Amino acid sequence: MSALSTTADSPSILVVEDHVMIALDVEMMLKSGGYRVIGPVASVAAALKKIDEQMPDAAVLDANLGAEMVFAVADTLAAARVPFLLLTGHTSDVLPAEHRQRPILNKPFQKRDLLAALGQAMTLSQAA
């Protein structure tokens, strides 16, 4: 599989990000890395609906979705043992204690950093 092609066998990644341009950038970065993207979605409700429709293989979650935090989605994914990473413009101390050990990617970031953090999240999940 080339880095630009995805197939039905490609890992599916849920993207939860409320800033449209960042969401589109993340989607493009993931697709170019060989992943299938679910979403992007911009709210907790939309993310939980997507999870109900299709459990992703992993997720990229913006910690702060404007008026709400993404932690209900993080809790749902953690309960299902789905790996995820958190995007944030803040330090890890804004995260609940149960998610501080998750891979965190500070904004702004580069494609290589996103793909490395996602790979780390998926590897940590397999080791658990």
HEC string for 43-71: CHHHHHHHHHHCCCCEEEEECEECCEECH
Strands 104-106 and 64-65: unpaired
Across the range 76-82, mean pLDDT stands at 96
Q: Summarize pLDDT for 83-109 with one digit per residue, the tens.
A: 999 998 877 777 888 988 899 999 999
Q: Please report, as a single letter, which amino acid is at residue 79.
A: A
Among residues 80, 35, 84, 37, which one has the least CA distance to residue 55?
Answer: 80
Among residues 95, 85, 102, 92, which one has the least CA distance to residue 17?
Answer: 85
Across the range 52-68, mean pLDDT stands at 96
- The residue ranking higher by pLDDT, 41 or 91, is 41
* Alpha carbons 111 and 114: distance in angstroms, whole number: 5
Question: pTM for the complete prediction?
Answer: 0.91
Residue 58: partners with Cβ closer than 8 Å, 6 or more residues away: 11, 12, 13, 14, 82, 83, 84, 85, 118, 121, 122, 125
Q: Looking at the predicted structure, is the pLDDT value of residue 17 above 80?
A: yes
Q: Looking at the predicted structure, is the pLDDT value of residue 71 above 60?
A: yes
pLDDT at residue number 2: 40
pLDDT at residue number 1: 39
Write down all domains in the chain, each with its CATH number in brackets.
12-127 (3.40.50.2300)
Cβ proximity of 105 and 118 under 8 Å: no
pLDDT above 70 covers a percentage of the chain that reads 92
